[in-house]
Structure 1
Amino acid sequence: MNPLPVIPVPDPADLAPALDRLRRLVLCETPSYAPDALAAGLALMRAELAADGLAVAPETADLAAAGAVRATYDRGGTLDGPPILILGHLDTVHPVGELAANPWRIDGDRAFGPGILDMKGGIVLALEALRRAGPHLTRPVEILITSDEEIGSPRSRGLIEARAKAAACILVPEPARDNGGLVVGRHAILRFALSATGRPAHAGRDPARGGSAIHRLARAVVALEGRSVPGASLSVGVIGGGLWVNCVPERAAAEMLCVAADDARRDEILRIVAGEADDRLAIDLASERPLWRTGPGDRALYGAAQAIAAELGIAVSPEVSGGGSDGNFTGALGRPTLDGLGPCGAGLHAHDEHLDLASLGPRIALMANLLARVGHLPTSN
């Protein structure tokens, strides 16, 4: 028999304060490219963490540069040792004003709003789990909330990796997989910047004298996306070019996201990209989330979660995800990481993004019990 008490699944009526917090976070829109909105969101996050009794780190230059909030819970100084790191992000892909298309609301057993699943619901879930696990913790818990995950974590990667190296293990409440599964590995995510050049000319009078940068870029988009295969996808998601409709465009640019399931597929993507570049098209690797291969520490964390899930009557499974998260960085470092601990739902990055309320209580209990039991697990992969 497990000597540790099982933290039960909360009654839905007991989650009213958590839903109130979720409403506050959703109503504070935080797109990755809106500095003022992010500043307001991070200020709200500091207030929420302080309200839960966590020691919020001062806004140092390092934290400000990373666009992050860090806080620690050590039960009044009675817990020591390497902490459990909970890693989350506040930024979303939804622009300010998305609330008009997908307003905060509860409709039956679903809660709606921009960023509610990815990943404001996960942040709320983690804080509620920490509150319930507090009396049973055997080591401190550190929470790091960043604001640039959706754009590849260019500001916060160094801080994430530094805090992960100091942690016993990392728990990431990103959304659950569609089947409720937990994530024990992730594919590599590569972001490329494409820049095409042309020769300007009058588009009405002398089009033949020009060379269209847009045309060169368009051919590249079709060619690159057409090389996608299972385990190695190439997708252009941002594109623009030209200044005047009556000018043959001299400049055009795009951003491409590539997903590689393993090193061989990553190498193949790099070969494809290099083969498409020429003197009129530059393609540069802008950032990369490294491949996270499942290690022994990751498996130990999943094993603990699986045992807890069985006690709670929750179905989970170990999954490797094609989507990226900041768990890529920590897992690739060899730090024991378990991802996908957030709630279930659907509509990620879409106008109908929503959270399944029925999943909230069971997954709070899953994470709360995991926080209480990971003290004895391996601290490396």
Structure 2
Amino acid sequence: MKAAPACMLAAICLMLGPAGAKSVAACREGEVFIPAGSYQPFFKSGSNSREVRVDPICLSASPVTNEKYQNFVRRHAEWRKSRIKALFAEDTYLADWHDDLTPPPQQLTRPATSVSWFAAGAYCEAQGGRLPTVAEWEHFGGNDGGARAGPGSGPFVFAMGRKAAELAHTPLEFAGVWEWTSNFNSAAGASLFCGDGFRAVDSSNYAAFLRYSFRSSLRANYALKNLGFRCARGAADERSIYQLGSSWVEADGRRLKLQKFAGDVQVLLLMFTTCTGTCPGLVKGLQMVSRDLPEDIAQRTRFLLITVDPEQDTIAALRRYRGEMKLDRQRWKLLRGSADDVRELAAVLGFNYEQINSGQFMHSSLITVLDARGQIVHQQNGITANSGSGEGLIAAIQKALSAEAAAPR
């Protein structure tokens, strides 16, 4: 096939890693690499006040400007102020702009504000990124290491939780606006003003109090004059399959990159819905594993079924198969991609397949476990109820999660 050389190169690079490679992929121009670390959440989770690990990311060095957002709405008309749906933004959306495409000339290099969470997320997705999480934001922007906002500090320095002098020595720019996070509506701060303040790890950290209380007051359609955003991307490990640039479509019709699945352990199976051989047994074996996972492990584990027959396995066929097999749509994702992208992924995984005259496929029974970063941590051929292979798969999933929790902080 035309794509075979590229597949072979991708497989070699991912399996062996280039000589002298760094542990993370390079960030783009205008981004800052934020190394892995941890932060102390403002709230305890039950009796647990442990620090939370944050993976490395590539982060926009500064908030998105009006000029950049102007370029975005030129290409994506549905996010212009005259066209955006009321569900996605209140009336104050881009309030300072003269019209759909014209921010005030003197504000072109200033942060784009009065932008809703929906619109900010759409912008980041169009750039191949996403909004940073609360954990990531607290790690890079609010983890003050004892630096409290003191007398004479403005409200924005309170919000940052960093001294202005310290911020001056970092490559990150904070432009005096609050910033959206992807999970601003986390339950952690929802009860801040409802007598739940006793859960604060450090009640003297007023800067953190301000950040969490502000987030808890937001709704996704809010468009506030002092609220902007910046984008983040996961800094993929050199061995991560999430480096692949292929595009896939879910059974629900949503188009995505594999990197979308970062953060959870993925149990991946290449299959096809009309398979009359091993596929049904493999899927049922994985369903058995899913049922047997301890609850805390199950919450961090997802199952990914990718068809090798995109010609026959349309979106409708994937949905039908999901229903027939009674697969929970939250924990099981069914994907289809182009024939070339399937071939590339199969090459990386070491999965062999070939279509025969009957229209069926001869293929291996390879099951792959990916860790939260998309690295291959376990592979096995087949799964049956009586062979112990299910127990081996569960052990591999638990090991992947344990290794993630024990990684250096």
Same structural fold, with TM-score higher than 0.5 when normalized by the shorter chain: no
Structure having greater relative contact order (Cα 8 Å, sep ≥ 6): 1
Structure-1-length-normalised TM-score: 0.25
Specify which structure has the higher proportion of strand: 1
Specify which structure has the higher proportion of helix: 1
